[in-house]
Every structure is written in structure tokens, then in C-alpha cells.
């Protein structure tokens, strides 16, 4: 990520909106914004495959212990930025479910995958597909379901300014496409 270019352009934006980038409160803002973008958009530097490799630590399920039941993790909190307005997508809750195929993913890795996939300019729908693709690769399971609910500041803080409008998306892969019981695991409880 080119933080020096970000600093330059933030300074120019400050000028364009009529601010003085040299006044005390704004003097270090371009540098702070560049560091913030570097951190908050860190996922931009990685492909889904690289994220799967980075957080793909799995553990073998001993013979006889595989029940065929799904693993579900709910209420993973992430944020992202809408690629249309670069506006914050916030209070996003991700639920991830998958049917293991001989190996299970470390629980913290599920949350780390969601977080890293969200740290990109995104669409909520694509975020669900990205998380599903990464989880599928990391677990070697085609049976993955993702549910994301969240708020978009391009809806709540500008435009229509509807603060209660929540967006819910689902991504269903493999058995989750047809198995209503598996789909039910993604519903709010």
C-alpha cells in the first residue's frame, strides 16, 4: 500500500473541501489517515487463497468421531468499506457454518478469516462469497454457509439516511443450497 500517495491525496482532499491542511488539528491528519487505511484495508494485499493458507490451521477428527454435523460460529463482528462510496459498513455480524470432512478449522481462524476478508473495499454480497471460498479451501469442505447482517453508512449517514435499514445476505454452497436443516443453522437465534 502506498501510504505516501494516500497522505498526498488526503491533503488535497482537505484543500478541496476548503480546509487548511496546515492548521494544528489537521497537520498530521494525512499521515494518520494513511496509517488507518493501511490497517483497515489490510486484506487488500491478499488473495482468498493466501488468506486460506494464512489461517487454514486444521485439526484431524479422529476416526469414529465424525458425526456429519455442522460446525457453526455466530456473531463474528467485522467492519468493511463499501466499494461504491468508501463508506463504512458497520455492526456487521457474520455467522459461518460448514460440514467438516475429516478436519476442523481452529475456531479463532474462522474469526480471523472473516476479519481479513472484510478488510478490503467490498460489497456485502461479495464478502459472503469470499468468506465461503476461504472457509471451503481451508477446511476442504464444499458444504459452507455464510450469513451476514450489517448497516451501511451509505444508507444511514447520507442519501436516504435511514438509520434502521439493515442488510442481510446469505451465501450457500454445497449441501447448504438444498438442505433446509443446514440453512436453519444460519438463522438468527
Active site residues per annotation: 82-85, 124, 152, 154
SS3 (DSSP) at 122: strand
CB 117 within 8 A of CB 50: no
CB 110 within 8 A of CB 76: yes
- Within its chain, how far is the Cα of 119 from the centroid? 6
CB 88 within 8 A of CB 79: yes
Alpha helices in the chain (DSSP H): 3-16, 29-40, 48-54, 107-118, 124-139, 153-156, 180-184
Amino acid at each position: 500500500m502506498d501510504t505516501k500517495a494516500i497522505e498526498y491525496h488526503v491533503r488535497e482532499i482537505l484543500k478541496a473541501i476548503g480546509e487548511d491542511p496546515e492548521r494544528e488539528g489537521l497537520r498530521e491528519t494525512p499521515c494518520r489517515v494513511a496509517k488507518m487505511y493501511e490497517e483497515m484495508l489490510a486484506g487488500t494485499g491478499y488473495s482468498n487463497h493466501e488468506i486460506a493458507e494464512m489461517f487454514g490451521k486444521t485439526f484431524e477428527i479422529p476416526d469414529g468421531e465424525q458425526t456429519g454435523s455442522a460446525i457453526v460460529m455466530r456473531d463474528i463482528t467485522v467492519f468493511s468499506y463499501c466499494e461504491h462510496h468508501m463508506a463504512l459498513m458497520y455492526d456487521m455480524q457474520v455467522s459461518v457454518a460448514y460440514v467438516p470432512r475429516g478436519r476442523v478449522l481452529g475456531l479463532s481462524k474462522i474469526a480471523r478469516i472473516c476479519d481479513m476478508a472484510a478488510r478490503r473495499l467490498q460489497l456485502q454480497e461479495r464478502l459472503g462469497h469470499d468468506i465461503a471460498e476461504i472457509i471451503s479451501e481451508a477446511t476442504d469442505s464444499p458444504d459452507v454457509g455464510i450469513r451476514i447482517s450489517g448497516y451501511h453508512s451509505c444508507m444511514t449517514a447520507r442519501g436516504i439516511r435511514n438509520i434502521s435499514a439493515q442488510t442481510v445476505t446469505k451465501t450457500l454452497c454445497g449441501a447448504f443450497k438444498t438442505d433446509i436443516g443446514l440453512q436453519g443453522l444460519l438463522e438468527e437465534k
